[in-house]
Amino acid sequence: MKIIAITNQKGGVGKTTTSVNLAASLSALKRRVLLLDLDPQGNATMGSGVNKNGVTATLYQVLLGEKTLNEVKLKVELGKFDLVPANRDLAGAEIELVNIEARETRLKAALGSVIDDYDFVLLDCPPSLSLITVNALTAAQSVLIPMQCEYYALEGLSDLVKTIKQVRANLNPILEIEGLLRTMFDNRNMLAQQVSAQLEQHFGDKVYRTVIPRNIRLAEAPSHGLPVLYHDKTSKGAQAYLALAVEMIKRGEKNG
Ligand code: ADP
Ligand code: MG
């Protein structure tokens, strides 16, 4: 089982879009996938077709030790993966966790009970370096970083790399960068091309070959509560996330 935190402290860079569509694409390739929504906004929950206000339990109860992951997870029919939902309740966990023992390792402990049930566990992180994100970075083996190739992207990235180093030193020595993913890419944009080239220079093989283009179908799909694969399979967005899933699986096989 590989646990991957999909994270970037910046909002609107494609974390949730990547989480939901990678979950659906890996499932379509016959991998067993669990997606955890770690953001109180519940966008990954809604984007998977689950009404965040209609669920009885969320990741909140899991983090506070009131329920197990197995009790809270749901089956996403169109997408064929399992989901642990989130909604505004989760914002409360941030405060309540502060006074709880082993507050950084709550998620890691909870995931121990499903270790044999999945090939991939994807953690859709909130846009902050909150205690919930620290829980994700402590539970994960690796970090997948979606980013837009724009002017401040590299600066934001160096902050994130610092955070990863800190977590590695203090909480999770095995944490590594799974890969950097260029999202909402527009090939006609000169700046995007430049930033993209710099990214490859600095991070080499860590940058996925697969690039996610800006694609209207990807933006529409959440409003239907569908991964793009079930909204418009032939769209550039759907094909890009399938290609990413294939690239991830191949990389994993190569690295043993
Ligand atoms: P984050 O989770 O990092 O905040 P989201 O995945 O929610 O980012 O994406 C932010 C917005 O951009 C959403 O409205 C989403 O639908 C849209 N979006 C994300 N990726 C793409 C893309 N490749 N093409 C077009 N729109 C996208
Ligand atoms: Mg999000």
Digit-coded pLDDT (tens) for 26-67: 999 999 999 999 999 999 999 999 999 999 999 999 999 999
% of the chain with per-residue pLDDT over 70: 100
CATH code: domain of residue 61: 3.40.50.300
**Contact partners, residue 36, CB within 8 Å, separation at least 6:** 59, 83, 84, 107, 121, 122, 123, 124
From 6, 9, 16, 17, give the residue whose CB has the most ligand 1 atoms within 8 Å, as the site to mutate. 17
Q: Which atom of ligand 1 is nearest to the CA of 124?
A: 2
Q: How far is the CA of 9 from the centre of ligand 2 (A)?
A: 10
Q: In this predicted model, what pLDDT tens digit does every residue of 105-143 receive, in sequence order?
A: 999 999 999 989 999 999 999 999 899 999 999 999 999
SS3 assignment, position 79: coil
CB 64 within 8 Å of CB 98:
no
Q: In this predicted model, what pLDDT tens digit does every residue of 77-92 receive, in sequence order?
A: 888 999 999 999 999 9
List, in sequence order, the alpha helices (H) in 221-256: 228-231, 236-254
Any ligand 1 atom below 6 A from CB of 42:
no
Total number of domains in the chain: 1
Over residues 21-27, the mean pLDDT reads: 98
Q: What is the pLDDT of residue 104?
A: 95
What are the angstrom distances between the C-alpha of 136 and each of 52, 101, 189, 238, 246? Answer: 21, 17, 34, 26, 24
Any ligand 1 atom below 6 A from CB of 223:
no
Mean residue pLDDT across the chain: 95
Closest by CA to 25, choosing from 183, 248, 219, 223, is 248
Any ligand 1 atom below 6 A from CB of 27:
no
For atom 14 of ligand 1, the residue with the nearest CA is 219
Any ligand 1 atom below 6 A from CB of 239:
no
Say whether pLDDT at 256 is over 70. no
pLDDT band at 94 (very low <50, low <70, confident <90, very high): confident
Q: In this predicted model, what pLDDT tens digit does every residue of 235-254 receive, in sequence order?
A: 999 999 999 999 999 999 98
Residue 175: give the domain boundaries: 2-255
Q: Which atom of ligand 1 is nearest to the CA of 220?
A: 16
